[in-house]
Amino acid sequence: MSETRHIGKYEIQALLGKSSAASVYRGADGARAVALKVVNRSAIEPAILARLRDATGSLGRVRHPGIVPFIELIEGGNASCFVFELAEGETLAARMKRAPPDLKQTWEIARQLLEALEAAHARGIFHGDLKPANVFLDAQDRIYITDFGMGALADAGAPHYMAPEQFSEDKGTIRTDLYQVGAIVYHLVTGKLPFTGTREEIVHRVLQDRPTDPSSCTAKIAWQLDWVIQRALAKDPMHRFGSAREFMDGLRLGLQDSIGSPLAVPTPALATAPKAVAAPAPAVAPAPALVPKAAAEPAPAPEMMLAQTARLISKPAAPATPEKAPDTNGKTRVLFVDDDERILNALRALFRQQYHVFTAENAAVALDIVRHSAIQVVVSDQRMPGTTGVELLREIRKTAPQTVRLLLTGYSDLAAVMGSVNEGEVFRFVKKPWDNDEIRATLAQAAALVAKLSPDAPRVASAPRSAGSLLVIEPGQSLAKGLERLLAGAARVEVAATVAEAAKILQQRHAIAAIVADLAAGKDDLVKLFKALKEKRPEILSILVSKEPDAELVAELINQAQIYRFLAKPVNPRELRMHVSAALRRYALFKQTVKMKESGLAASLGGNPERLVTRSA
């Protein structure tokens, strides 16, 4: 066979597709089928070619069953050839025309797409051109994504699945991929594209308009699924889901709410390469004698482990008693605040049998209800016109400090999450879309706490100065030295350079009032420590400081470890002193309450005085 029928060692067998910048050929390396994406370097900008080249190193390290493997880059003459395994099977575009998937099939397709994206995003690679033509399904409905890393060559003449930022100079991010999955899911559940019309009309609508709610196209779609898809299709990338996993979790809840039955929680896929399956995607006539550039090998990611933390920090504590049932004489009074009437209707329907439910569509109405209706639990959305949920909860805390407050939001909003713990003192952080069983359990916990904080419960006297120590966990000692100056002898300051050292101190010292920890001491280990503290030493309040706070981490620590405060570096000394002093006073109140319990004076506090202390003003 002549040299013109080969690219390097690969035999060219057939043209599969072509665009202005590239051509895709079916090729073979002996018995191995490959896809040869040949890019005409004179037809694209040098910056785009540089991005494609830069992507190849990471592409070689992505190994996932749902991603067609990249093999190598071959360059020579006026062309660059990107070699992938060949995807065999049916494209998702063809499947949608032949037999549109139902909602359960949509879940399986979207789940696999998002799992594959999660693996790629972890390697710093995003696709940029996700569309049904680039997704293949085999006979068992396993999906394979083709053209990974080739998003820079996306055809702007086919804008149906493109994100708003792709029409500007922005090259896109992983949130661009999540937008494109959102557009695919929209198409799958409705049978329609989010936007239609001429290219110019579609571009204008992508940039300016909100897609029609899927439920207006199909009655069986629940508001939860509307909300999830609309969030994925948000114009501002920061308003979309922050990760493929977060999108997947929300999509599962929205779809199962629409189907009316549970969907399986996905398990992580094995990190192995699929058997030959890659796809035709456009790219120019090949140049002969191209020189291979090998792909890099994958590198495993290390994990930190803290052994037996719970055992190390446990101590004999005041005996626990079962939680008191909420309000046996009447229903707990719960206020839901959200500017979306459908969400309020859904919450009202979910809880009206168990609680006395109030609703408000804005902060002004909510505050009026709190002042006049003896509200006990407030659940507020974060993103509302005029006033945020954090601002509202802060005002409610001033007006009715005994309310149990929860923040409801679907956004990974760091300011909101940190504000909720530092200003509104939320009991829990609830994410949209919610799981009905989980939100029921959270409201039940809040109602149980209401019983402990009942106005009829005896009040504990003002706390004396703390008799406990402050434990500082940080690699250096700057934070500890600063606290020693700030506290001026009000409490002893102990220092641990690592979480393991801190666990030993906690095992040996029972009079630790509060912990101030720098996230630089080890995020994973600190999370484990704080969770163990909640279970074993709930009287200890935890304050975490971090140079680069993470919204998801803060939310996790609110819900699972009940962290007391979360502060961003550089820390304001006055703010730090205020929070530490409050924590020390609360510890003193805890000690006083324990003495009351031991003398038989605290029986009516619900058997859990430390929870009362945590919520005291």
**Backbone dihedral angles phi then psi of residue 140, each to the nearest 5 degrees:** -95, 10
Q: Match 């719970």 to its residue by tokens.
A: 310
Give the model's confidence band at 204: pLDDT under 50 very low, under 70 low, under 90 confident, else very high: very high
Burial code (b: 16+ CB inside 10 Å, e: under 16) for 418-448 equals bbbbbebbbbbbbbbbbbeeebeebbbbbbb
| pLDDT given for residue 433 in this prediction | 84
Task: Identify the CA nearest to 516 among candidates 540, 538, 537.
Answer: 540
The span from the CA of 144 to the CA of 91, in Å, is 9
The percent of the chain in helix, strand and coil, each rounded to the nearest 5, is: 45, 15, 40
Ordered strands of the 469-473 beta sheet:
493-496, 469-473, 512-518, 541-546, 565-568
pLDDT at 158: 72
Evaluate if residue 198 carries a pLDDT over 60: yes
Higher per-residue confidence, 309 vs 504: 504
Residue pair 27/36 in contact by the 8 Å Cβ criterion:
yes
Q: Alpha-carbon distance 614 to 420, whole Å?
A: 15
* pLDDT tens-digit series, residues 379-396: 998 888 888 888 898 889
- Res 561: pLDDT: 66
The model's pTM: 0.62
Of residues 171 and 79, the one with the higher pLDDT is 79
Which value, in Å, is the radius of gyration of the alpha carbons in the chain? 29
Decide: 226 and 215 in contact? Cβ < 8 Å. Answer: yes
Distance of CA 269 to the CA centre of its chain: 19
Say which DSSP state 295 is in.
Answer: P
Given this model, what pLDDT does residue 598 score?
Answer: 60
* Per-residue CA distances from 173 to 121, 178, 438, 519 (Å): 9, 9, 32, 27
Q: What is the pLDDT of residues 584-595, one digit of tens each?
A: 877 777 776 666
Other CB atoms within 10 Å distance of the CB of residue 15: 13
Average pLDDT over residues 7-16: 89
pLDDT band at 326 (very low <50, low <70, confident <90, very high): very low
**Between residues 435 and 105, the one the model is more confident about:** 105
Q: What is the DSSP string of 130-173?
A: --GGGEEE-TT--EEE-STT-GGG--TT-GGG--GGGGSS----
- Summarize pLDDT for 47-73 with one digit per residue, the tens: 888 888 877 777 877 788 999 988 888
The DSSP-derived string for 394-450 is HHHHHH-TTSEEEEEESS--HHHHHHHHHTS--SEEEESSPPHHHHHHHHHHHHHHH
> Distance between CA 60 and CA 420 in Å, rounded?
42
